[in-house]
Amino acid sequence: MRLGLLNLVIAFAGAAVWATPPEFTHKLKESVAPPRGWERHGPAPPDHIIKLRIGLPQPSFPELERHLYEVSDPDHERYGQHLSKEEVEALVAPHPESVELVSQWLAEHGFDESDLERSSAKDWVTIRVPVRVAEMMLDTTYSVWKHNDGDYLVRTTSYSVPEHLHDHIDVIQPTTMFGRFKGQKSTIHSVEDVPEQKNTVALTSTHAATAPVVDASCNTTITVRCLKQLYNAVNYTVKAAKNNSVALTGYLEQFANIQDLQSFYAEQVPAAVGTNFTVISVNGGLNNQTLAEAGAEANLDVQFAFGVSFPTPGTYYTTAGRPPFIPDIGTPTDTNEPYTDWLDFILSHPNPPLSISTSYGDDEQTVPESFARRACAGFAQLGVRGVSLMFSSGDGGVGDGEEDPALQQCFTNDGKNATKFIPGFPASCPFVTAVGGTTFVPETGIFFSGGGFSNFFKRPSYQDVAVKNFLGRLPKGIYKGLFNPAGRAIPDVAAQSNRFRIFLSGRPVLIGGTSASSPAFAGFVALLNDARLAKGLPPLGFLNPFLYTKGVSGFNDITTGNNPGCGTPGFNATQGWDAVTGLGTPNFGKLVKLVT
């Protein structure tokens, strides 16, 4: 059935029917326990439209992963030899039999090729269907689910597909995903303008001998100047801006206000006044420049990432989609996690930006493992193409994202209600760089810095030495059963994350969270790429194999602070890698020598 007829079919449901497929034996594909905090509110409206994404297997993905680690390992002869878009798509393409069988199944339910949206590599197929058709296709029943904070979703707790398709479909969503992609920011505090303080204080850290002095005001207010002082980049001059790029992703109706950016530049980066960034709307993402409607998250991201990396060209992706369903107003479409729409878009682009930060995430356990693995595989595709991806590590310490540790619910979603630390996703994907948070001068790990160990992804080999050292120093017994010591560990690195001075709706405010750390770190990665490009070297791409080997000496080791949650003190920052601040904060002056 063509999409152009979809509304007509819905309006005249009594007069028209979807094609009745032949009988198949359905077999359960995925099932989840009703997640904590959600209760079934009622039946899903049968004509409610779902944007259904079907992931086809990627049989050659292990080969792509091999390429990724080789081109990202600074000791490998192929370091920096990133793959092209076409080479990557060939490595993630599904088997032709999978494409054919899934296409036949969809045709048997009334869809022809013009109704299907295929990803650039043909490994995802997207269709828009009413609930009643999705229920027939997946032998399931959708319901409206209500969260205890008032959000609604249209989801099911299990679905099936014809048995002969089980080896040809990895995942179908939205079905069992109850995640709510959210910004990683803490409370915003409005403040009065404060004159810049002239006195300074020496940075006391293991790298004090090579670091410049830092304005005393940086203990209470973080500016671009503070970050460049703290991270030893005051005297760096951008040399290859025309070949470089840095970008930010925005979701949930967030957009960055240009007038606010100009106010920020006038105060903190005067040379940038009058310059702008590129805005790209994905699936109708908003870019309303009404000053009063500016997004705090978006403004924070663009002002600091672009402020640190100026004059590197910047891009802001505003992606439409908000999963919560509003039953009383007949929401026309229930989207999937919107970052996968952005991922489809950016993977189809021949020249994606070289440094990209995302300040959004979710509790790992609210995302089905099958979906998390497919999204993570998408991030790997960007890495092997030479893109560095940064994600905020989260603002709940070792807990579930609730900033107040006393309110955290640290229980598993598997029906056992076991007490466990709650890692965040996508930060837990081993193919991205997770950025935690620090505060003050000298720096200390901040209490809300998300850290811990994945329950989905095993620890990658690049973390073995650093993480085993950390685990070996943990007190015996205290953490027993609370985390998966064999899991991918987060964060990888850290940066300042508190009291960032931005302009929002025409006024200066202070804002914090690992949503500040990630774009700030991405700005410094853009400067490292600039240094490489200026010498004719390729961009850094996937950072982690470098960070945990040659890059270790380019970080300020943070040895104080902890990230409480789940009724515990959480983990402690300590010598070497730790689950609060990772390897530490960047010493740009050292890193630039290491990468060039």
Give the rounded distance of the alpha carbon of 224 from its chain centre: 23
Catalytic, out of 89, 115, 123, 297: 297
What whole-number distance in Å separates Cα of residue 60 and Cα of residue 91?
A: 5
Supply angle C-alpha 494, 518, 380, rounded to 5. 100
Q: Which helix (H) or strand (E) element contains residue 219?
A: none
> In whole angstroms, what is the distance from residue 552 CA to residue 573 CA?
16
**Tokens representing 456?**
């989905």
> Does the annotation count 344 as an active-site position?
no
Give CA 52 to chain center in angstroms: 21
Bind-site residues: 557-558, 576, 578
**3-class state of residue 295 by DSSP:** coil
Are 68 and 383 in contact by the 8 Å Cβ rule? The answer is: yes
What element of type H or E holds 314?
strand 314-319
Q: Which of 265, 292, 567, 534 is nearest to 421 (CA)?
A: 567
**Distance (Å, rounded) from C-alpha 113 to C-alpha 127?**
10
Q: Look up residue 344 and give its two tokens.
A: 């489809």
Catalytic residue among 301, 364, 492, 530: 301
Residue 515 bears catalytic tag: yes
- Measured in whole angstroms, the distance separating CA 354 from the mean position of its chain's CA atoms is 16
Among 176, 182, 184, which residue's Cα sits nearest to residue 35?
A: 176
Pairing of strands 278-282, 26-31: unpaired
Q: Which residues are annotated as a binding site for Ca(2+)?
A: 557-558, 576, 578
How far out from the chain centre does Cα 355 lie?
A: 13
From the list 119, 186, 515, 517, the catalytic residue is 515
For 490, other C-beta atoms within 10 Å of its C-beta total 31
**297 given a catalytic annotation:** yes
Residue 511 β-bridge partners: 500
Q: Are 343 and 274 in contact (CB under 8 A)?
A: no
Contacts of 351 (CB under 8 A, 6+ apart): none
Q: Which residues contact 237 (CB under 8 A, 6 or more apart)?
A: none
Does residue 290 come out as left (phi exceeding 0), alpha (psi in the -120 to 50 range) or beta?
beta
**Residues tagged active-site:** 297, 301, 515
